[in-house]
Chains A and B, each alone.
Chain A
Amino acid sequence: MDITSLTAMEIREKIANKEISAQEVIKAHLDRIKELDGDLNAFITITEEEAFEAAKRVDEKVKNGEKLGKLAGIPIGVKDNIVTKDIRTTAGSKMLENFIPPYDATVIKRIKEEDGIILGKTNLDEFAGSYSTESSYFGVTKNPIDRERVPGGSSGGSTAAVRAQEVALALGSDTGGSNRQPASYCGIVGIKPSYGLVSRHGLIPLSNSLDVVGSFARNVTDASLLLDVIAGRDEKDPTAMDIERGSYLEGLTGDIKGMKVALPKEYMNMPMDARVKEKVLQAAKVFEKLGAHVEEVSLPHAKYAWATYYLIVVSEISSAMAKYDGVSYGHRTEDYESLDELFIKSRTEGLGEEIKRSIMAGTYILSTEEGRKYYEKAFRVRALLKEDFDRVFEKYDVILTPTTPNLPFKIGESVKNPTEMYGSGIFCIPANVVGLCALSVPCGYVHGLPVGLQIMGDRFKEANILKAAYAFEGELSLGGDK
């Protein structure tokens, strides 16, 4: 039996049935990591010792006939911008190269409470601030499907690890597509929950009006399982909504007859790889075949989403990055003669190019009269964008678009052509700006490179998109393979 090819649900079942032990599961995956990760570089930190300790506890529970958690024995990767108590958490930055958090993020606590086993911390663009996982201080992560290509980003470490069967599940974070775009590039399922569904306590902020923690897996069921565990109210994060933890798994029936599916014309008409568009139109046909009603809709303010997103994201990044000053934690420069020099040198040495660019832009927006005008305007346009979507969701259950307009690009290409990289988030951004839930599910391959279908749903209507994705996935029989 190839343990690493098992789904999370299968692992859980086999451990409960005593077919395999949690320690065997963990060993198989750690062996896989040892075999592959030297080249893939999906992980920044591997927590072998802690993982075996946790696996032993699960095996004890099985032996004693104790009740097992929902994630019992399942190997999980955690994006390294989610803090883990006593385990180095870097956010992919030199700034936090040696940062050991004294607390666990709420999502980590919940995984541990459900007996999930964290194998390590995965690579990401520095502070989750880009789309290719090339801007990490800890090196580039390769796409397991084509190692000359990027896995996407910023959660590229998590998506590569899931795809390469180094873990069964992983956590990521999504500010402007960072869960969906790399899920698409790695041919797996990535969920971006509604803003406020999952606690952000312990998520290192990039842009706090947009950030959200979400899950990855090789199929919809597994991704839903992890979402079940992490979603819902948290007294440690007042911005997490008072939503009782329910079961998304139960909603996965495969029956979507009568579901109302919208195809937004403004997005479908944006410039994109024709082959990607073709796959998405085919996917729409699959929905029709499943008994859903697919219709074209209009989101008139679509073209303003990018500027709106950009203004919010850079302003908030410049604010979020202000805490890295070299005083009480993080990188501190060796030599300084004044406080100003301490701040400037520590930050200049500790932060990477991409993040500096965002800080500069954000400082400009927040400090100048012209910039502030646009800062405020962005939040006004956000209201218009929300109205667009509210109108559509009055009549429709889900919206379909491609996850990204292109196929995974080659490592190093983004430097030559940054526009293509930033453009890869264009379909993802609106869900962040408006706080919607969305996911990416594989919908086919073009010359061996995966294409993702984005399914968007109204705020806190995760059940709709998961149900739709599950039915679609079943029909396409993609699973984790081509």
Chain B
Amino acid sequence: MTREDILQIAEMSKLSLSEEEIQIFMGMFSGVMGQVKELDELDTEAIEPLYFLNVKDKPYREDVEEESLDRAEVLKNAPEEEYGYFKVKKVMD
């Protein structure tokens, strides 16, 4: 893991890191990946990944409308709002 790699992951994660954090993450990645590599001991080629522990017959709903939230409720947690919309103030891009 290079410093560049860390910064690229931070960019994708939309996080900005202090110099100290960069160092911590570099250490963390090498440690953790070392442990993760234990899985190389196992041959799992023939095994299907088990994403779903539970399955069901009909895990869906019918196409029937239900009431939505009041707009006041929808916007209640908005950091900023205007005219019933969520607002993001003028930005460069």
Contacts and interface: CB of A to CB of B under 8 A. Distances in A.
B59 A338 contact: no
A348 B15 contact: yes
The number of chain A residues touching the other chain, given as a range, is: 35 or more
Contacts of A384: 42, 44, 47
Given A102-B69, A304-B39, A383-B48, A361 B29 contact: yes
A376 B49 contact: yes
A328 B91 contact: no
Interface in B24-78: 24-25, 28-29, 32, 35-36, 38-39, 41-42, 44, 47-51, 53-54, 56, 59-61, 69, 73-74, 76-78
Contacts of B51: 209, 379
A334 B63 CA distance: 41
Describe A's contact surface by its main secondary structure: helix
A271 B48 CA distance: 32
A384 B21 CA distance: 36
A244 interface: no
Contacts of A310: 32, 35-36
Nearest to A311: B36
Given A338-B93, A344-B14, A377 B44 contact: yes
A238 B38 CA distance: 35
B16 interface: yes
Contacts of B73: 102
Contact of A344 (B15, B47, B86): B15
B35 A377 contact: no
B43 to A, nearest CB: 10
Interface of A: 98-100, 102, 195-196, 209, 235, 238-239, 241-242, 301, 303-304, 306-308, 310-311, 318, 325-332, 336-345, 347-348, 351, 353, 356-357, 359-361, 363-364, 367, 374, 376-384, 386, 434-435, 459
Interface of B: 6, 9-10, 12-16, 21, 24-25, 28-29, 32, 35-36, 38-39, 41-42, 44, 47-51, 53-54, 56, 59-61, 69, 73-74, 76-80, 86, 88-89, 91-93
